Amino acid sequence: MGLVNAIGLANRGLARRLLATGLLLAGLSAGCQNKIYDQNKELVDENRALRDQNDALRRQQAQAQAPMPQQLPTQAPPSAAPPPVTPVVQQSASPKSVEQIGGLETTVTARGNTVVHLPSDVFFDPGQAMLKQSAKASLDKVAAALKHKYSASALVVEGHTDSTPIRVSKWKDNMELSEARAAAVKQYLVSRGVADSRISTKGFGPNKPRSSDLSKNRRVEIVVMTGQD
């Protein structure tokens, strides 16, 4: 019995060692299989990424080799020739000449006022504001027309000079001289029967030149307010 028991114990010990060995081998086998599975999965994923990259490269190459679409011309098609442009004729701002008053140049402004032009060189000595005796006959005719033909119109007597500074005169500047000459013409018209209440005076000195000709800028103008000014 002792021998039998010893054999039994030995067999059970051997069985346990065999079982342990089998379990160890099974564990090792499972670990190897897991490692192989992970490696295979990494290879599959890497292979898939390479395929996707190759596909993308092939698409880019195909697009680069594809012919470019022909661009359409951007120039607009020719249209019918535009109608000829009729040039706009500028209306002259120059005053219109009308029948002379007192034999003096007479014009009508764009607003319809009648202007009688008295050249200073004819009516005044240089630097002076006293009317020349020889010019009074013409001014008499102007006064007659203002009393009859233009009896209902207000009057503005405007004095003008050129831009040459005054050097020898009792007037300190051209503005004073232009005012004095306008006042002298008004005084004479009143003396010939034109109502003082109808007449006002203004002096502009050289500030409203009429021409590049200085002699035409030296003037007195009798503005008959027949229009809208």
What is the per-residue pLDDT across 130-150, written as a single tens digit (0 to 9) for each? Answer: 999 999 999 999 999 999 999
As a whole number, mean pLDDT of residues 113-124 equals 95
Average pLDDT of every residue of the chain: 80
Q: Give the amino acid at 94.
A: S
As a whole number, mean pLDDT of residues 101-127 equals 94
CB atoms within 10 A of CB 177: 25
Which helix (DSSP H) or strand (DSSP E) does residue 6 occupy? helix 2-65
Which helix (DSSP H) or strand (DSSP E) does residue 224 occupy? strand 219-224
> 106-118: b or e for each residue (b if 16 or more CB lie within 10 Å)?
bbbbeeebbbbbb
d(CA 167, CA 187): 26
Whether pLDDT at 47 is above 80? no
- Report yes or no: 178 and 205 within 8 Å, Cβ to Cβ: yes
Q: Is 0.85 topped by the overall pTM?
A: no
Record the tokens describing residue 52, joined without a space.
């996707």
Whether pLDDT at 127 is above 70? yes
As a whole number, mean pLDDT of residues 9-33 equals 62
- Report yes or no: 147 and 194 within 8 Å, Cβ to Cβ: yes
- Report yes or no: 121 and 220 within 8 Å, Cβ to Cβ: no
Give strand pairing partners of 159: 203, 220
Q: What is the largest CA-CA distance in the chain?
A: 185
